[in-house]
Structure 1
Amino acid sequence: MRDIWKLIFWLSISSLNNVQAHELRLIYPDFPPFTYAKSGEPAAGNFLLHQIMKKLKQPYHSRQVPNYKRALNDIERNLADGFFFASQNQKRDQVAQFSKPLLVNNWSWFFRQENFLDPHSKDFKAKAKIASLEGTNTLTWLKNNHYKVVGKQNDVVKLAQLLFDLKRIDAAFLSAEVFKYKAIHSNMRNGQYIEVVQRSAPFGIYISKAYIEEHPQFMPRLNQAIDQVQKQYLPKTHTLSELKR
């Protein structure tokens, strides 16, 4: 009988170690400066994610996908356990659980300096030609609120060209940090644009419901680690400009 209890004990320990050793499969979209795939210093999102996983002592692997639409598709097909960083919406909530927010992401309208339009006017919603990035919540928000969306891009540089060079759109609507990242266009570098902040959206980590079902204690632990990382690296406003490495 004693030998049986010893066996049960060691099997329990082995099972616990296997859970701890499970490598979390995470994905992230090409969304600089929040996430980044090129060599060199990791982008803010990748850096913060790594600090969170260190707090959890959680092995993980992360890979890049083109956009948020692909990220959600991979979660649905069980090709990944979660994705970062993202704002919350109903479609994502169907297959994954949103963590405690870590960052704040401003959604902004961008206009040519000589062509400012009031984004809160009725005429703007009915007539202004607008574009955003494929698979993002900003694009979903535009469509749900019945704006005149005439274009979507995977590449933020092409979106800037549509607005400033080709002048095929009246406004770009997307994450302010993304559009202003490293001044991707001469107008951005020279400050020749007008920005109007529409709303601030919390950014967090989505973990698949399938993973949570197998690891029910993971989300409380994840949220606790997010708290710790916020206090250490984002002590004030939880924006990238306040990030301390």
Structure 2
Amino acid sequence: MMLQYWQKLSLRLDAMNLRERVLVFAAAALALIFVLNELMLDPLFVQQKRMAQQISQDQAKAAEMQREVQQKILANAQDPDKLNQKKLQEVREQIQALRTDLLGVQKNLVSPEMMPRLLEDLLRRNGRLKLVSLKTLPPQNLNAPEKKDAKDADTGAPKAQAAAAQSPGTKPEVEAGAIYRHGVEIVVQGKYQDMVDYLTALEGMKWELYWGRARLQVDEYPVVNLTLTVYTLSLDKAWLNL
């Protein structure tokens, strides 16, 4: 069948003149191009269009990410110490929290101004002990770094003396975030049991004290000398007034 079809088609083409043959071949070429376009080229064009759209979307995302990176770079360039400032703020908040806690604790602590008077009042109530001496100790900043050597300590001594020699109306400098320990050293003389009674009375006060050093010295039995150091805490650097 196919052979007969091609033979008939060949005879018909041979019977045509040159112009008719050109038109037939042109029509056949157009039909072939149409078939190729429908079956192969159009799907390729659709796929290329999808790829172009995907590339365009990816480029848009990349451009957006680049803008975000530039914004972050500009932000850091404008404030290079932002991280350090954040850490500093956290430390300040911690110090403030400690100071707030200390204010709550201070409600039960003896104030620096009251401490010498309380010690003397208890001594008078005891009535059997003799007051040998009562002196205040320089306030200590518990947050201050320790001095590295004796040279530093000697250098700081004149400064401490100058601070102590300030006029009564001069307000001492207050360091930010500082917590001060105020101490009193009292020396009393009497019998051992009277010393025990005095210490028991100190412990029984409604006000709280921090105990420091206690030293007993026997000069002539049964008379005993007791050197006692007690402390309180405060946010104020003011020296104790005796």
In which range does the TM-score fall when normalised by the shorter chain? under 0.3
Bigger fraction of residues in helix = 2
- What TM-score does the superposition give when structure 1 sets the normalisation length? 0.23
In our comparison, the structure showing a higher alpha carbon Rg is 2
- What TM-score does the superposition give when structure 2 sets the normalisation length? 0.23
Bigger fraction of residues in strand = 1
